[in-house]
Amino acid sequence: MKIDFKKNYVIIIVIMLFVGLILARTFGSIQRILFKRKITEEAAELELLRDATPVKIYKVKKMNFKDTLPVMGNIKGFKEVDLRFETNGILESFNFEEGERIQEGDIMANLNQRDSLLKLKYAELEVEKAKKLFEVGGMDKIKFEQTKLEYESAKSDFERTNIYAVSDGILGSRDMDVGSYVTPNDKIGVFVDISNVYATFDVIEKDSPKVKLGQKAEVFVDAYPAKTFRGTLDSISPIVKGRTRTQNIKIELKNPEFDLKPGMFVRALISTYEKDNALIIPTSAFKKKDADYFVYVVHKEKPKEKKAAEKGGEQSEREPVLETGVVEIRKVEIAYLTQDVAEIAKGIKENELIIVEAFQEFKNKEKVEISEMQETIF
C-alpha cells in the first residue's frame, strides 16, 4: 500500500491550525475575564476611596499646659489716705507738690500755729514752775499732775495743726489752697503709699470661679512696654456688682522704684491653671452627648501603592495613594476645659490619632481619608 505523505502532511497542518485557533480563543477569553476582574476590583477600590470622608487628624501629645485669664484695670496705691486736720484753722503751708516723694514722719501740711504755739509755751512754763514748787513742798502732787496734763493737752493741740506722713509715699493730690479756712470735714489732699501697689480689675461673673487667692499674675503697663511686673492675687471681693455683674480683684505688686503710679492703665494675665505633661487636645476634636464626651480615634491603614508607567519608557514607578484609616468612637474624661483646648484625664493615650474639626457624625469602623496631619495645637 502506498502512503501519500503529502496528503498526510496537509492534514496535520490543518489540525495544528485548528488547535492553535481554539487555544488562542480560549486564552483570549481567560485574559478578558482576568482583566475584567482586575478592572472591577480597582473600580470597587476607587469607589470605596471616593466614599471615604476626608478628615484632618491630630496626633495626641503631652505638653506643659498653662491657662491664663486676661484682664484690664488700673493701679491703686497700697494705702491711699485722705488728708484732714483734726482741728479748725487757716491752711498755712503745703510742704510737698503732687507726685513728690515723702518719707515717714515728714510734715506734709500745717495750719497757722500762732495761737496753739503760744498756749504750748505758756503750758511749758507752768510745768517748770509747778515742778520747782512741788520739789520744795509748795505744791501738792495732784495740782502738779494737773499742770502736766494741761501741758500735754496744749502739746496735743499744737500737733493737730500738723499732718504727718505715716509711711514713705507720695502726695497724690492737693485739694485745698494755702490760706483756706479748713475744718476736720475738709479733705485737703491725698497721701499715697506706693512702695507696694495694687492692680485692681473687674472680673465678669462667668470667670469668677477661675480666680483664687495666691494665683500668680503678670502685669503689663503701656508706659513700660519692655517690662513685666509680677505679683499675686491678694484680694477677691465677695460681692458681684449688680449692674455690671463683675467681681473686683486686687493683685499686689512691689514697686521699689515707684514706676507704677496710681491711675495707670494696666493689663494682666492671671495664671488660673498649670500642669506639666498634660494630655491636651483641641476642643474641636471632641463631641458631647448628654453628660458624656467622646472623640473619633483613627486607626491608620497601611498605604497602598499603584504603578504608573512613564511615557516613552519601559521603567515604571510606584505612586502612593492617599492614606486611609478606620474610625473608633472613644469615650473620654475631661480634666480641664477652656474655650480652645481640653485636658484629657482618661480615654486616649499619647501618639494616638483623633479627628479634629469633627463637625459631622462618624460611625464605628467607618473608613476615612486622611487629608492632613496636625502635630501642634498652638
For cell 491550525, the residue is: 17
State the pLDDT at residue 310.
45
What's CA 334's distance to the chain center, in Å? 19
Architecture of domain 81-190: Beta Barrel (2.40)
Length of the chain, please? Answer: 378
State the pLDDT at residue 19.
61
Can you tell me the distance from the alpha carbon of 9 to that of 13, in angstroms, rounded to the nearest whole number?
6
Average predicted confidence (pLDDT) for the chain: 83
Can you tell me the distance from the alpha carbon of 288 to that of 295, in angstroms, rounded to the nearest whole number?
9
> What DSSP element (H or E) covers 135?
helix 114-135
Can you tell me the distance from the alpha carbon of 247 to that of 233, in angstroms, rounded to the nearest whole number?
13
State the pLDDT at residue 314.
46
Give the range among 37-41, 100-104, 215-219, 262-266 with minimum mean pLDDT. 37-41
Can you tell me the distance from the alpha carbon of 303 to that of 322, in angstroms, rounded to the nearest whole number?
7
Whether pLDDT at 316 is above 70: no
Q: If pLDDT is split at 50, 70 and 90, which confidence band does 31 have?
A: low
Whether pLDDT at 198 is above 70: yes
In the sheet that 89-94 helps form, which strands lie side by side, from edge to edge?
A: 162-164, 107-111, 89-94, 181-182
Can you tell me the distance from the alpha carbon of 48 to that of 114, in angstroms, rounded to the nearest whole number?
105
Topology given in CATH for the domain delimited by 54-65+277-374: 2.40.420
Q: If pLDDT is split at 50, 70 and 90, which confidence band does 241 have?
A: confident
73: number of CA atoms within 13 Å, CB side?
24
The domain ranges of the chain are 1-51, 54-65+277-374, 81-190, 196-275
State the pLDDT at residue 299.
93
Q: Please give the model's pTM, rounded to 2 decimal places.
A: 0.61
Phi, psi dihedrals of residue 288, rounded to the nearest 5°: -120, 130
Whether pLDDT at 155 is above 50: yes
State the pLDDT at residue 39.
45
Whether pLDDT at 104 is above 60: yes
Q: Which CATH number fits domain 196-275: 2.40.30.170, 2.60.40.60, 2.130.10.10, 3.10.20.30?
A: 2.40.30.170
User: Computed over its alpha carbons, how large is the radius of gyration of the chain?
Assistant: 46
State the pLDDT at residue 319.
52
